[in-house]
Amino acid sequence: MGRKIEDSMEVEPAGDENVEQGRELKYEDKLKFINVIAQPMAPKKLNKKLMKLIRKAKEEKAYVRFGLKDVQSRIRKGETGLVVFAGDVTPIDVMCHMPGVCEEKEIPYCYVPSKHDLALAVGFSNSCLMALVKEHPSYKELYDECLQEVKKLGHIL
C-alpha cells in the first residue's frame, strides 16, 4: 500500500551457506562440535564405512531405522542391529538415555561427528539423530566389518 522502502543492506540467505560450509568441514573440524557424552566416537575410516553401510541398508526396505522415536521403539520391541548416533546433537537431553538402553539390550553403538552427514546417508536433507542398521545378505560383509570395529571401540560404563 504505501511507498516501497529499498534497503541498501545485503541480505544473506537464511541457512544455505551454513549448510554448504558444514558439508565442507574436515573430520577433525567436525569433532570440535561434538557433545560431552559422544563416546565411543568412530574414527575417520570407520565413519566412512558406517555412512556407506547406511546408504546400502537404505536401499533395502525396512533394514535401516532412523530418528529418535522409531529407533527407540524398535529397540524396546526387541530389534537388534548396529546403532549409529550423531555426536553433535543439542540439547543432549533429547537422546542421552539411548546409550544406556543399547547397553541394556546389548546392542553395539557408536557416535559419528555430524548429524548432517548421518542425514545425508539416510536420505534426509536436514538432520538425523540416530540410525539402527539391521543385517541383510546384500551387505553382510560390510556390516560384519563395521560391527567388529565398533565392538573394538569399547563402551564407557
pLDDT of residue 73: 96
> Are the C-beta atoms of residues 132 and 77 closer than 8 Å to each other?
no
Q: For the chain, which residues score pLDDT lower than 70?
A: 1-23, 155-157
Structural domains of the chain, ranges and CATH numbers in brackets: 34-153 (3.30.1330.30)
pLDDT of residue 3: 61
pLDDT of residue 107: 95
Cα–Cα distance between 16 and 79 in angstroms, integer?
A: 37
Cα–Cα distance between 70 and 81 in angstroms, integer?
A: 14
Sheet holding 130-133, edge to edge: 64-66, 130-133, 82-86, 109-112
pLDDT of residue 2: 59
pLDDT of residue 134: 97
